[in-house]
Amino acid sequence: MHEVSIAEEIKQIVINKLNENNGKMVKKVNLLIGEMTSIVPEALRFAFEIVAKDTPLENAVVNIKVSKTIAQCNECKKRFRIRELNLICPKCNSMNIEVIQGREMIIQTIEMET
Amino acid sequence: MAEINIFENIMKKNEEIAEQNKKIINNGFCINIMSSPGAGKTTLLEASLKNLKKKFNIAVIEGDVSTSNDAVRIKKCGVFAYQIKTENYGGGCHLDANMIKQALDKIKNKSKYDLFIIENVGNLICPADFNLGEDKKVVVLSTTEGEDKPLKYPLMFQIADVLVLNKIDLLPYVNFNLKNFEKNIKRINNKLKIIKLSAKTGKNIDEWIKQLEIWINEKK
């Protein structure tokens, strides 16, 4: 899929931050990836290994936290977990709901050697 | 060893370029049409452009991995078309905001266009993750693909504003239950408007044309 272009983006952002903070090498990259994105964590790790070669990210461990899909009912404001696709409020049965979590792709933190 | 906070959206660059594209398109109305390969995106455009071009100036941006086949088909309708080939960007499976920006930079007299149509690469998964700077997202599904596709590819159907159900002329010949399909859609996206038509026979194409007219005129 497009894990390679995502890995490239991560690499660029992390290298900029490394330079800003006078770091030498990245040891760990902590990501938050939403359940509802099309990203497959293993594929992303594999893609990252490839794009990180010969860069200060070469030996970095990529830690991926998966963000659960959560919706909120616009009627009764209840927040609930979405597992199977039943976008109906478990409290008031309204279908007027909005997915509020599960589509993120965020670099949270990195650990670097100075 | 030091831990550095970043908290940055990986898609930030794409989002920024998408916003730039919005400004470049300005008063023009822009739609991003997505579907599986073969659902009928290009045929839908061929069926509706002859009518729409009488009222509006239209530019079509075509996205494919390879070939200019679709741009050629659009040009034959007498409408301006620009072909993006993702093989020139590494062979990707979707369009991103940067590709659209580069296409827009090459299109002359942009301000004369009332409608920009982006026909995305045939793919029900990845295009859903990439905003291009469009005003509305349209997903095309055909009756030959099965009534459960919205459940299998939920993100695409969640982010779409309108669903065009194409090839309704084939309903007597395929296992596609309209009632189950509508139930499936309601489970994924209660707000999704469904337009049922046949791009091939022209049945109900007016509803699609009308929707575009409403959108274009609302933005002006």
- The CATH code of the domain that includes A60 is 3.30.2320.50
For A53, list phi and psi in degrees, rounded to 5.
-55, 135
On chain A, the residues whose CB falls within 8 A of the CB of B13 are 9
Q: What is the pLDDT of residues B33-45, one digit of tens each?
A: 999 999 999 999 9
The owner of tokens 């998964």 is B125
Per-residue tokens: B167: 């090839």
Query: What's the pTM?
Result: 0.90
Query: What is the crossing angle of helices B41-52 and B205-219, to 10°?
Result: 70
**Residue A19 domain-assigned?**
yes
Beta strands in A1-114 (DSSP E): 25-34, 61-67, 70-73, 79-81, 97-101, 105-113
Classify the complex by whether its ipTM is higher than 0.85, answering yes or no: yes
Per the domain annotation, does A39 fall within a domain? Answer: yes
Residue type, B175: N
Q: How far out from the chain centre does Cα A70 lie?
A: 15
Residue A89 lies in a domain: no
Contact A85 B188 (CB under 8 A): yes
Per-residue tokens: B69: 């086949």
The answer to whether residue A47 sits within a structural domain is yes
User: B155 and A109: CB-CB below 8 Å?
Assistant: no
Residue A107 lies in a domain: yes
Q: Do A110 and B158 touch (CB under 8 A)?
A: no
In a domain, A94, yes or no: no
- As to burial, measured by CB atoms within 10 angstroms (0-12 exposed, 13-18 middle, 19+ buried), residue A75 is middle
Is the residue at A109 inside a domain?
yes
Q: Residue A59's domain spans which residues?
A: 3-67+102-113
pLDDT tens string B47-58: 999 999 999 999
CB-based contact, A86 to chain B, within 8 Å: yes
Instruction: Flag if B8 and A13 touch (Cβ within 8 Å).
Output: yes
For residue B186, which residues of chain A lie inside 8 Å, CB to CB?
Answer: 95
Q: How many domains does chain A have?
A: 1
Q: Across chain B, what does the average pLDDT equal? A: 95
Query: What would the two tokens of residue B207 be?
Result: 């509803």
- Asked whether residue A79 is assigned to any structural domain, the reply reads no
For chain B, 220 residues long, the average pLDDT of each consecutive 10-residue run is: 94 95 96 97 96 96 92 94 90 91 96 97 92 98 95 91 98 96 89 96 98 94
Q: Are B112 and B79 in contact (CB under 8 A)?
A: no
